[in-house]
Amino acid sequence: MLGQRLGRLPWVLCCLLLIVVACDRKQEPGAATLRIAVASDLRFAMEDLVADFSERRSEDLAKAQIQITYGSSGNFYAQIAQRAPFDMFFSADVLYPRKLAEQGLALEKSLFEYAIGRIVIWAPKDSPIAVEELQWEALKAARARRIAIANPDHAPYGQAAVAAMKTAGVYEELEKKLVFGENIAQAAQFIDSGAAEIGIIALALAVAPAMADKGRYWEIPVEAFPTMVQGAMITKWTKHPELAREFRAYMLSEHGRTILKRYGFYLPEGKP
């Protein structure tokens, strides 16, 4: 695939490098720290999930810390396959944690599906491109000189974007206009910063409070791309299995599901 990789912009130091966020600012002496690798489509949703979980967790684990690292699922897969020091892995594609489980790298019975991702064509609110009306034609607009997507080599949302464009019959026409973000959050940042005029990003990012007022979008029909079942696992070498299993249970609870729905995720059928 042809494409341009934009870089050396001021904010890339935050997006291209993995972002680490702790759920609590102060580390309690001797407190456990749960380190979680998280696909960047969850960038905003996970903040709410961790905050809500921290208020609900058991008294025995109340002082524990949660540290989140954001990035692309494919890159995390490669790192965890080499036993990177994460306790959990939330992937935008369940196939990555499933492969790790098959390699014996997941804690027994810890693999689970937590959401189904959706994608949208997104443009800044002040853009002259009327994405809601033009839909696929928005990507062909003369003003849409650069179209940002996540790198399909290792980002599931980039793979979904390419599949959707091929289904719509526009991929070959648009291929030379594509610019790749290292992950879906960086692709969104390309558009927000003006490095690209339009792009295909996760619905979860488009509806997040931090971005909802900045842009407009058209949701791509789910029939246009393979179902994006998102999955997670606990690593076999975690030092905090009790805390990890409690967070897993929270993600599958009605509390966790409610927050995921708020960010536009479908939920896997037949899951608790």
**Structural domains of the chain, ranges and CATH numbers in brackets:** 12-116+227-262 (3.40.190.10), 118-224 (3.40.190.10)
Cα separation, 150 vs 132, in Å, equals 21
Q: Is the dihedral of CA 178, 180, 183, 186 positive or negative?
A: negative
Q: For residues 214 and 125, is the Cβ–Cβ distance under 8 A?
A: yes
pLDDT digits (tens, 9 = 90+) for 159-193: 999 999 999 999 999 999 999 999 999 999 999 99
Query: Which DSSP helix (H) or strand (E) runs through 19?
Result: strand 19-22
Nearest to 16 by CA among 121, 119, 124, 150: 150
**pLDDT (tens digit per residue) in 63-118:** 789 999 999 999 999 999 999 999 999 999 999 999 999 999 999 999 999 999 99
Class of residue 103 by CB neighbours under 10 A (exposed 0-12, middle 13-18, buried 19+)? exposed
Global pTM?
A: 0.86
Res. 28 pLDDT band, cuts 50 70 90: low
Residue 170, φ and ψ in degrees, nearest 5: -115, -5
Number of Cβ within 10 Å of residue 223's Cβ equals 8
* N residues, the chain: 272
